[in-house]
Amino acid sequence: MSISASFPRSLLEKTQEDKLAYFLSYRAAHPHLIEATDRVIRTIQEPAGASFIFVYGPSGIGKTTMRLRVEQMLIKQALPTLETDRCHIPVVSVEAVGTESTQFNWKDYFTRSLISLEEPLIDYKVHYGSRGVRRNNQGEFTIDPKITSPELRLAFENALKYRRPKAFLIDEAQHMQKMASGRRLQDNLDCLKSLANLTGVQHVLFGTYELLMFRNLSAQLSRRTVDIHFPRYQAGISDDVEVFMSVLLTFQRHLPVEEEPDLLALWEYCYAGSLGCIGILKDWLTRALKVSLDEGAKTLTLKHLKQRAWSVAQLQTMLKEIQEGEKQLTEGAEKHKQLYQSLGLTEELPIELNNSLSNNANDLQEKVSKSPGRKKNVGKRNPKRDPVGGVEPNAS
């Protein structure tokens, strides 16, 4: 990846809040982010697109940054349409809020979704199908606190049909699987499935590896779902190390301090403290920058990093969760062999199917087309139809 220029030097004359705001808003594009984002966009645009797209990865990998990137791309693509269709909203996002109970709060989810669907600059009226969801005399969007969950759902369905977003994005979607029983988990996915069916709007769920629980609840759901893995960078892969160091250098150059720090000399410490997750790295550097600015230091040092680093115990807990999720994905090759054996097939696939790619026909087709041709067996003829009736060809 290319290294962008450093921060505007005029920022050094700004306030501490301005400096923090600049670095907090700065986002570095990197290969895993770009690849996963492009796959989401391509899947949304497919003519026979899936009802669901599951985007999963470690906590702190940068899924929220990716969601914002998807939003920007969909909005940009829809600009020509928006000039003539003022009712259309290209994309809608909502966060699935975690609750203290054992059941997901659908009423809260529908309420937040309806609010996200509203656009205050549009004057057109929407018939929501419920007297509890309306605009008041001042044109303000209001939701009656006494409205029931089924009424909110009906209003949400009507709003989706009216606004016609290309995709509905759900951040922190793993919160939707927190309930008392497996039956509840199936019910939640069935609810989302019916919403997608009735409105024709694709749902993209962003979450941690806990989303893996959703994938195979039913054959019907699996058929209509595409999985996209947003992985961390692995220290045991040379290309990953090179990319991680490149991202680290980019952040180093955009830290608004008087003297540029030498974070590359500390790359192993930075890797261990972020577990190879760019989102964790960015949060850590932001916290350390705050300490540096508070001290009036000229640069960001190892001391500042140590003061704001996560503890070893915290990192070990996060790493255990990440590795458990990664382990579920690496089991894909063995499961493919079992699948072929169950179908009575013995021949191996021409390529190794990675579990995160197995549901994407475009990526699979591209890999197959690039795979080397099969070697011919010497002395073995090609298959062909033999003559019947006991007559040999060219017989005299």
Residue 385 is given by DSSP the state P
Residue type (1 letter), 165: P
Q: How far apart are the C-alpha atoms of 160 and 240, rounded to whole Å?
A: 40
Assigned domain for 70 exists: yes
Per-residue pLDDT of the chain in tens (396 residues, 90 and over written 9) = 555 678 999 999 999 999 999 999 999 999 999 999 999 999 998 866 678 899 999 999 999 999 999 999 999 999 888 888 878 889 999 998 876 666 788 888 888 888 888 744 333 445 455 556 655 555 565 666 677 888 888 888 888 888 889 999 999 988 887 654 556 677 787 888 888 888 889 999 999 998 888 776 666 667 778 899 999 999 999 999 999 999 999 999 999 999 999 999 999 999 999 999 999 999 999 999 999 999 999 999 999 999 999 999 999 999 999 999 998 887 665 677 777 778 877 655 554 444 443 444 444 344 434 444 434 443 444 554 444 444 444 443
Pair 312, 95: CB distance under 8 Å: no
User: For residue 335, what pLDDT is reported?
Assistant: 72
Phi, psi of 42 (to 5 degrees): -65, -40
- Asked if 72 and 174 sit in the same domain, the reply is yes
| Structural domain harbouring 286 | 11-26+233-324
Max CA pair span of the chain: 103
User: For residue 196, what pLDDT is reported?
Assistant: 87
Q: How far apart are the C-alpha atoms of 58 and 66, rounded to whole Å?
A: 13
User: For residue 168, what pLDDT is reported?
Assistant: 93
Give residue 93's region: left, alpha or beta (phi > 0; psi -120 to 50). Answer: beta
- Asked if 225 and 247 sit in the same domain, the reply is no
Domain boundary among 271, 306, 324: 324
Pair 200, 48: CB distance under 8 Å: no
Assigned domain for 31 exists: no
pLDDT digits (tens, 9 = 90+) for 323-365: 999 988 876 656 777 777 788 776 555 544 444 434 444 443 4
Assigned domain for 38 exists: no
Please give the tally of structural domains in the chain.
Answer: 3
- Asked if 243 and 306 sit in the same domain, the reply is yes
Q: How far apart are the C-alpha atoms of 369 and 33, rounded to whole Å?
A: 25
Phi, psi of 131 (to 5 degrees): -75, -15
pLDDT digits (tens, 9 = 90+) for 118-171: 744 333 445 455 556 655 555 565 666 677 888 888 888 888 888 889 999 999
User: For residue 371, what pLDDT is reported?
Assistant: 42
Assigned domain for 378 exists: no
Residue 48 is given by DSSP the state T
User: For residue 380, what pLDDT is reported?
Assistant: 43
Assigned domain for 37 exists: no
Assigned domain for 32 exists: no
Pair 289, 23: CB distance under 8 Å: yes
Q: pTM for this structure?
A: 0.75
Q: What is the CATH number of the domain that holds 172?
A: 3.40.50.300
Q: Which of 163, 155, 152 is nearest to 108 (CA)?
A: 152
Buried b (16+ CB within 10 A) or exposed e, 237-265: eeebbebbbbbbbbbbebbbbeeebebee
Residue with tokens 């197959």: 368
Residue with tokens 């937040």: 112
- Asked if 122 and 221 sit in the same domain, the reply is yes
